[in-house]
Amino acid sequence: MERKLDKYRIDWKDIVHGHFEIEASSSNEALEKFKSLSKKKLYKESNWNTDGTEIAVKFIENKDAPFDVYTPNELDDYGNEQIKEWDAFWRPYF
């Protein structure tokens, strides 16, 4: 019997950089307008990117199995075999 694939949520973070153009009468006014932007508008209307060197996984969560939330360090410490054993034992209960 083929086992269905689980859905995983991976929370990650990275450092981004970008540029945003604002019309203003001075650099002080431009800076004030920039500071007042909502984060949503900033990301939507900016040209932005990342160099990818700071990307880090915060945690990995199996959305189909309660209690399956691991940080990258926990995955390294437990090892894949221990996680598979845990999953095999508890999966029938959920």
The two structure tokens encoding residue 37:
């932007």
Q: Which residue has the higher pLDDT, 49 or 77?
A: 49
- Does residue 68 form part of some domain? yes
The fraction of the chain above a pLDDT of 70, given in percent, is: 76
50 HSE (CA, 13 A, CB side)? 10
- Does residue 78 form part of some domain? yes
Q: Which residue has the higher pLDDT, 43 or 60?
A: 43
The pTM is what?
A: 0.49
Q: Which domain holds residue 17?
A: 8-93
- Does residue 3 form part of some domain? no
Nearest to 22 by CA among 13, 31, 12: 31
- Does residue 53 form part of some domain? yes
- E-only strand ranges, 1-94: 8-13, 17-19, 47-49, 56-62, 69-70
Confidence tier at 67 by pLDDT (50, 70, 90) = low
**How many domains, in total, are found in the chain?**
1
